[in-house]
């Protein structure tokens, strides 16, 4: 065994704190273990779903340096059974040191001998150690093959090296465990995000594709920025937080009433009540015609006007835009007298109903619009409770500000210019583009990309959107469905 100096331990400790690529780190530790024992081969296995998967594999004499992180190892995983010594080490939580595997009576090395025959190799000495996490659970195996003496001859692994190799195995286990825990947290966070977006989709079929479409645009745009080496291209570690902020930008819609969020027409749920009022009013006037012939003509005229008003209301309820003539007609119709079943005289439309039916464009009243706009405030409140940290610290701010505009005319805070980050500026462009072109909005037909970009560039000319980012997004064609 080579003398192992303190400076080498310092190098390993430094690598553990600096190296972020777990496959490279495991390869580094494996090479150190092989250097200490002067052995020819080594393998790191990771325990996954009852199998030991090849993670790193090195055979110096064959010039083999394989890493599963680079997709270079195609060997099938090894089941946890008694047919492979690495599996036995994992099952028994035991160090295994064998001078010559061909002479071993305790373990089955038929697999190793078959490998040797196919690769013109001779596996002889072997040292196998389980890798355990801080709970004592085996998470992998470190296996070393064919230790060499000073003359380059294969020899047994000396017992005095086991302690040091065990230390390196523990370092590998710590690194692997930290990586797995980090990946688990990452996966849980992303699963949670998708569950929340799925909940929004389930609540409102009218908004089901919005966030997914925006994520698709965002991912493609980031890729295009990379490919064109744009000054705006994102560092690799900044990409996932940005995409996550897109996933979460509308999470506040979970608390917005469906009567507002899914309001497909101007009247929404008011329509049923109005139609019932009209139906009763017509019936009451017909009764008046029968019971009071002197007022028959008056009642008949009222029925005619109410029916005309009904037709106008139904047409306006689903119209894309209301002209002045239509609005005036609706205001006049609102004052028509209607009799209830108790004989009380009421106007055809009350103030709230008249406000709703005379909305020039869209379906939301001023109160409903304020309620809808509240979703960004709710997004901020919900995400602040999740305590995003590190590279994800900006996610709540980027997500909640996607309705802010550069000229200060946005909401909820009326931010201006440099107060709005690049991430938010992009999300805002994606959000508006998808809102214009979406095919699942009940209150409007989809707009063509060409017309949508005319509107977006108009907003940029007004100082509302970032003109340079908008031009890049259009050039990227990341928006193509």
Mean pLDDT by 10 residues, the chain (481 residues): 58 66 81 90 91 93 88 88 89 93 84 82 93 85 93 91 80 75 77 81 74 95 97 95 94 90 90 96 92 88 95 94 95 94 93 96 92 94 89 94 97 96 98 90 82 98 98 97 83
End-to-end CA distance of the chain: 62
Residue 307 to residue 292: CA distance in whole angstroms: 21
Cα angle 48-145-161, degrees, rounded to a multiple of 5: 100
- Cβ atoms of 72 and 60 within 8 Å: the answer is no
Q: With helix as H, strand as E and coil as C, how does 402-465 read?
A: CCCCCECCCCCCCCEHHHCCHHHHHHHHHHHHHHHHCCCCCCCCCCCHHHHHHHHHHHHHCCCC
**Domain spans in the chain, listed from the N-terminal domain onward:** 6-181, 204-257+373-476, 270-362
Q: How many residues are given for the chain?
A: 481
- Cβ atoms of 140 and 47 within 8 Å: the answer is yes
Q: With helix as H, strand as E and coil as C, how does 365-399 read?
A: CHHHHHHHHHHHHHHHHHHHCCCCCHHHCCHHHHH
Provide the pLDDT for residue 313.
97
- Cβ atoms of 445 and 416 within 8 Å: the answer is no
Sole residue written with tokens 């009940």: 442
Provide the pLDDT for residue 1.
47
Provide the pLDDT for residue 133.
82
Which residues have CB under 8 Å from 166's CB, separation 6+?
A: 95, 129
Q: Which CATH code is given to the segment(s) 204-257+373-476?
A: 1.10.3210.10
Provide the pLDDT for residue 323.
95
- Cβ atoms of 464 and 409 within 8 Å: the answer is yes
Sole residue written with tokens 């190793």: 112
Contacts 24+ apart (CB under 8 A), 20-26: 21/69, 22/69, 22/175, 22/176, 22/179, 23/55, 23/56, 23/67, 23/68, 23/69, 23/70, 24/67, 24/69, 25/175, 26/55, 26/56, 26/172, 26/175, 26/176
Residue 418 to residue 132: CA distance in whole angstroms: 50
Q: Write down the CATH superfamily of domain 6-181.
A: GAF domain (3.30.450.40)
**451, β-bridge pairs:** none
Hey, is 51 helix, strand or coil?
Answer: strand
């Amino acid at each position: 065994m080579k003398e192992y100096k303190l400076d080498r331990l310092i190098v390993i400790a430094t690598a553990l704190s600096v190296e972020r690529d777990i496959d490279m780190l495991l390869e580094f530790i494996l090479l150190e273990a092989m250097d200490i024992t002067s052995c020819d081969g080594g393998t790191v296995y990771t325990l996954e779903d009852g199998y030991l998967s090849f993670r790193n594999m090195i055979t110096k004499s064959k010039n083999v340096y394989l890493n599963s992180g680079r997709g270079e190892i195609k060997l099938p995983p090894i089941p946890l059974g008694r047919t492979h010594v690495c599996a036995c080490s994992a099952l028994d939580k035991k160090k295994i040191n064998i001078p010559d595997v061909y002479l071993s009576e305790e373990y089955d090395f038929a697999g190793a001998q078959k490998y040797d025959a196919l690769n013109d190799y001779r596996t002889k000495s072997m040292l196998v150690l389980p890798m355990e996490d801080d709970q004592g659970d085996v998470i992998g195996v470190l296996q070393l093959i064919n230790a060499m003496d000073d003359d380059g001859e294969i020899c047994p692994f000396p017992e005095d090296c086991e302690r040091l190799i065990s230390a390196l195995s523990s370092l590998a286990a710590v690194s692997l465990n930290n990586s797995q825990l980090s990946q688990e947290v990452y996966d849980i966070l992303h699963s949670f995000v998708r569950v929340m977006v799925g909940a929004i989709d389930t609540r409102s079929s009218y908004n089901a594709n919005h966030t997914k479409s925006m994520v698709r645009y965002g991912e493609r745009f980031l890729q295009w920025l990379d490919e064109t080496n744009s000054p705006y291209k994102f560092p690799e570690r900044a990409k996932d937080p940005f995409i996550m902020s897109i996933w979460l930008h509308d999470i506040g819609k979970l608390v917005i009433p469906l009567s507002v969020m899914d309001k497909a027409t101007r009247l929404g749920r008011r329509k049923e009540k109005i139609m019932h009022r009209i139906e009763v009013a017509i019936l009451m006037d017909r009764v008046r015609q029968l019971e009071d012939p002197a007022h028959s003509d008056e009642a008949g005229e009222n029925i005619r006007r109410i029916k005309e008003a009904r037709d106008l209301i139904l047409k306006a309820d689903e119209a894309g835009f209301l002209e002045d003539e239509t609005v005036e007609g609706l205001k006049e119709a609102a004052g028509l007298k209607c009799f209830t079943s108790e004989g009380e005289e009421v106007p055809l439309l009350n103030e709230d109903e008249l406000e709703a039916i005379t909305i020039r464009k869209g379906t939301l009243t001023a109160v409903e619009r304020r309620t809808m706009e509240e979703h960004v405030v709710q997004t901020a409140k919900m995400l602040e409770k999740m305590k995003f940290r590190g590279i994800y610290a900006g996610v709540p701010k980027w997500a909640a500000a996607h309705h802010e505009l550069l000229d200060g005319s946005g909401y909820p805070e009326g931010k201006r210019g440099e107060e709005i980050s690049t991430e938010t500026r992009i999300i805002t462009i994606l959000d508006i583009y998808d809102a214009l072109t979406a095919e699942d909005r009940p209150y409007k037909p989809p707009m063509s990309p060409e017309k949508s970009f005319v509107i977006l560039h108009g907003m940029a000319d007004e100082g509302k959107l970032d003109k340079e980012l908008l031009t890049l997004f259009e050039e990227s064609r990341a928006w193509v469905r």
